[in-house]
Amino acid sequence: MILLDRVTKTYSKALGPALNRVSIHIEPKEFVIVVGQSGAGKTTLLRLLTREERPSSGKIIVGGIDYDKLKDKDIPMLRRKIGVVFQDFKLLPNKNVYENVAFALEIVGASGYEIKNTVPKVLQIVNLKGKDKNMPLELSGGERQRVAIARAIVRQPKILIADEPTGNLDPKHAWDVIKVLEKINRFGTTVLLTTHNVAIVNKLKRRVVTLEHGKIISDRAHASYKL
């Protein structure tokens, strides 16, 4: 599903590589947590997977797509296979919950019938049934993040990248978000989660990949983590 083979990314020679010969293989339907201090290379890794950045060297294959052969015109197709959730929600403030999620389908030309059929189901998955008419400012932080997750999965991506999705949330709302990610993973979506939250990592007992200074220093199943 996701394969990086000796991937290096250097933004400037003076700073050295942001990622240094990183190799990782993630199977379909896995739930993998990527941890590391700020500056460890987590964001660079995610930007390479979504093709916002190109590697300086090494090979990346995602969902059978070899990034070396990926043409610019095909990048939107790639991104439909990858849902992304950010720490700061990125919701449209002038649209309600339903409209925010529907917008992700509208921009790829989905029919009105498909939107009406799909959006309520996705809102149910993220436990927001009955909130479809609410505006973002009427929601808690955890609810807003679950709207962002709904928008990310409404096109049924094979992979969901969640970049510090609980970073701005209190513990209760953070766990609501993590439970939704686990549910989506049970439905068959590969989940890649970055987090600084040690309690979440240790409770989830999933595969943990630890980055430090651009290198993978640990890759263990059912792992716990200490800062």
What is the per-residue pLDDT across 51-75, written as a single tens digit (0 to 9) for each? 999 999 999 999 889 999 999 999 8
Task: Measure CA 125 to chain center.
Answer: 17
- pLDDT band for position 15 (cuts 50, 70, 90): confident
Domain coverage including residue 132: 92-156
pLDDT in tens, 105-160: 999 899 999 999 999 999 999 999 999 999 999 999 999 999 999 999 999 999 99
On whether residue 143 sits in a domain, the answer given is yes
On whether residue 103 sits in a domain, the answer given is yes
Q: Total domain count for the chain?
A: 1
Q: Could you give the angle at which helices 112-125 and 171-186 cross, rounded to 10 degrees?
A: 120
On whether residue 140 sits in a domain, the answer given is yes
On whether residue 223 sits in a domain, the answer given is no
On whether residue 29 sits in a domain, the answer given is no
On whether residue 10 sits in a domain, the answer given is no
Q: Mean of the pLDDT values across residues 185-193?
A: 96
On whether residue 186 sits in a domain, the answer given is no
Q: Which residue type, as a one-letter code, is found at position 215? A: K
On whether residue 119 sits in a domain, the answer given is yes
How do 207-212 and 31-35 pair as beta strands?
parallel
